[in-house]
Structure 1
Amino acid sequence: MSHFDTEAAPAKVNLALHLRRRRADGYHDLETVFAFTAFGDSLSVATAPGLSLVVEGAFAGAAGQGDDNLVLRAARALAAAAGIGDGAALTLDKRIPVAAGLGGGSADAAAALRLLNRFWGLRWPEARLTALAADLGADVPACVVSRTCFGSGRGEVLAAWPDDLGGMPILLVNPLVAVPTGPVFAGWDRIDRGPIEPGAALNSLRNDMTAAAMALAPAIGDVLAALESAGGATLVRMSGSGATCLAMYADKAARRAAAAALGRRGWWLAESELL
């Protein structure tokens, strides 16, 4: 067993998100294209008698240090499922904005599962980790995988996406407005606008949560318009329930130019690539 180890927690983006129906259990059936960026949080672990978490970094204050943090919930779930009595002192470097449509909490929980699976010497296969992850949140299984994939059900039913988008330059922009997911789902107009066909051109798809999110946070519309007007993007879209928006580019020069154009707006930006 190592005494110190680190795991990346890549930010999740939704390149498309189609809402299909509201279910009897209050969740929504949806279809989405998950992708992941080289940008994200980082989780490290050291040997300790009990389970503990310290949150550092730019968004540590918003993420919260509490006992209900999803990282600790994931750690406890894995320890219980594996019959592990060992501890772990976890430290999270929180770089992903909170309530931003980037799956930060889910990414961190998934990183905890991967990291502790290794740290505790469990050697569980990925499928066993994703099964455990489904109880922690709809996006956590996809974040365990952390590669482009198609999600259905609540987002936890995963399948391969035929296009390899690895290395694609991406720009993430958030107007520094936190948008809670629940009210955005509640604002959906309940109209099923059709499925995502595997391998469909991304430009032919959509994010059905955009209108409801913009009604709650009009700044999202400003970000989308700014990304469009900056030019050079092959795709401009809101991620998840917002407020982060993304733009994909054919090359890094186009991404850099767009980032420079938007950098004066006082928004949060991250230039990255898809994994």
Structure 2
Amino acid sequence: MTSALLSPPSVTARVPAKVNLELLVGPVRDDGFHTLSTVYQAVSLHDTVTVRPAQEWEVAVHGTFADGVPTTADNLALRAATLLAEAADVVEPVHVTIRKEIPVAGGMAGGSADAAATLVACEHLWDLGMTKDALCDIAAELGSDVPFLLHGGTAVGSGRGEIVTPALARGTFHWVFVPSTGTGLSTPAVYGEHDRIVARRGLTPDPDPTPNPAMMSALLGGDAEALAAVLHNDLQDAAVALRPDLGDLIDAGMGFGALGGLVSGSGPTVAFLCADAEAAIDLAVSFTASGTATNVVRATGPVAGAQVVPTSRA
């Protein structure tokens, strides 16, 4: 058992959002999840999570997207802390403070990101000496995207997304994200709509989806135009069916000069790939100046996964 008396007073971890460059959805598994093949990229839109010893397990949330994040026991970051404590035989509770800058229920893994950051911060606070692989085993119990947010970079996700294999990617890719200003999209609702669309169209999902070789080649070459041509999300039709405005937003972004655009994960955030930093600035300005979108975020990828930072930077 680890004593908090030997731990630093607080630890802060910084964690990125993710975008799915490709999301291929297979059939429903026996456990209720879908078989997936996805290509993740971590992008420079970050949450920070600070943990410190406390008398009770607690969580507080601040920041741009704090509204709607639970501060009860079902908060995913708090669940991450208690699960790690149980696995490591730690009895001292922590207070978790989340600075929320990743959209909530936006398809960018905001909740999963906070869980990953909490695992990293608590592991450091309690001085557990755990490997990343060991943390990933716990992360997989929390959610399909959590293991990737521990790794960051660019990676292929398989299984239900929790089996992460690093992918080779060169250069920096420039993104513009338009988070939803309206109602978020429930991941189960989007998958349910996807299943209905597949059944209605008489399609048979690939039981063992694998990444598109053209995508892996574009990433290896650092070629934004080639990557834009193969961006794909099997859930996009479902997300647009539930939120038709997302289709209009994609059309607008392409009209403003984006190389490619797609719904991020289960949505409703829309991601646009741009040729370079200047093109990303121009696209963001086009969205805001036209009144098409008021909340626009520029980011780059790939970036590192969850990692401890000096507390003074929190």
Instruction: Give the TM-score normalised by the residue count of structure 1.
Output: 0.94
Is 1:51 aligned to 2:78, yes or no?
no
What is the CA–CA distance in structure 1 between the aligned matches of 2:255 and 2:212, rounded to whole Å?
29
Backbone CA RMSD of aligned residues: 1.6
Is the 1:50–1:88 contact (alpha carbons within 8 Å) kept by the matching residues of 2? yes
Residue correspondence of structure 1 range 1-275 to structure 2 within 5 A: 1-165=7-171, 167-176=172-181, 177-188=183-194, 189-190=197-198, 191=203, 192=205, 195-197=210-212, 199-201=216-218, 202=227, 203-231=229-257, 233-263=258-288, 264-274=291-301, 275=303
Letter in 1 for 2:266: S
What is the CA–CA distance in structure 2 between the aligned matches of 1:195 and 1:35, rounded to whole Å?
16
Is the 2:231–2:261 contact (alpha carbons within 8 Å) kept by the matching residues of 1? no
Letter in 1 for 2:148: A
Change (3 A) 1:266 1:170: closer
Structure 2 runs not aligned, ≥5 long: 1-6, 219-226, 304-314
What is the CA–CA distance in structure 1 between the aligned matches of 2:143 and 2:187, rounded to whole Å?
13
Report deviation, 1:200. 4.4
Structure 1 runs not aligned, ≥5 long: none
The size of the alignment, in residue pairs, is 273
Q: Deviations over 1:207-259 (max 9, x none)?
A: 0000111000111112211111110x333221101111111223111000000
Is the 2:179–2:295 contact (alpha carbons within 8 Å) kept by the matching residues of 1? yes
Change (3 A) 1:248 1:266: closer
What is the CA–CA distance in structure 2 between the aligned matches of 1:162 and 1:257, rounded to whole Å?
29
1:268 is paired with a residue whose SS is: coil
Match of residue 310 from structure 2: none
Report deviation, 1:162. 1.9
Is the 2:239–2:263 contact (alpha carbons within 8 Å) kept by the matching residues of 1? no
Match of residue 4 from structure 2: none
1:29 is paired with a residue whose SS is: strand
1:9 is paired with a residue whose SS is: strand
Change (3 A) 1:266 1:48: same
Letter in 1 for 2:233: N
The more displaced of 172-181 and 122-131 is: 172-181
What is the CA–CA distance in structure 2 between the aligned matches of 1:123 and 1:116, rounded to whole Å?
11
What is the CA–CA distance in structure 1 between the aligned matches of 2:187 and 2:295, rounded to whole Å?
19
What is the CA–CA distance in structure 1 between the aligned matches of 2:260 and 2:45, rounded to whole Å?
19
Report deviation, 1:205. 4.5
The more displaced of 126-135 and 82-91 is: 82-91
What is the CA–CA distance in structure 1 between the aligned matches of 2:42 and 2:139, rounded to whole Å?
17
Largest Rg, 1 or 2: 2
The more displaced of 199-208 and 151-160 is: 199-208
Is the 2:253–2:283 contact (alpha carbons within 8 Å) kept by the matching residues of 1? yes
What is the CA–CA distance in structure 2 between the aligned matches of 1:175 and 1:142, rounded to whole Å?
23
Letter in 2 for 1:90: V
What is the CA–CA distance in structure 2 between the aligned matches of 1:39 and 1:260, rounded to whole Å?
18
2:176 is paired with a residue whose SS is: strand
Q: Deviations over 1:105-124 (max 9, x none)?
A: 00000100011111111121
Letter in 2 for 1:222: D
Is the 2:239–2:268 contact (alpha carbons within 8 Å) kept by the matching residues of 1? yes
What is the CA–CA distance in structure 1 between the aligned matches of 2:101 and 2:217, rounded to whole Å?
32
Letter in 2 for 1:69: N
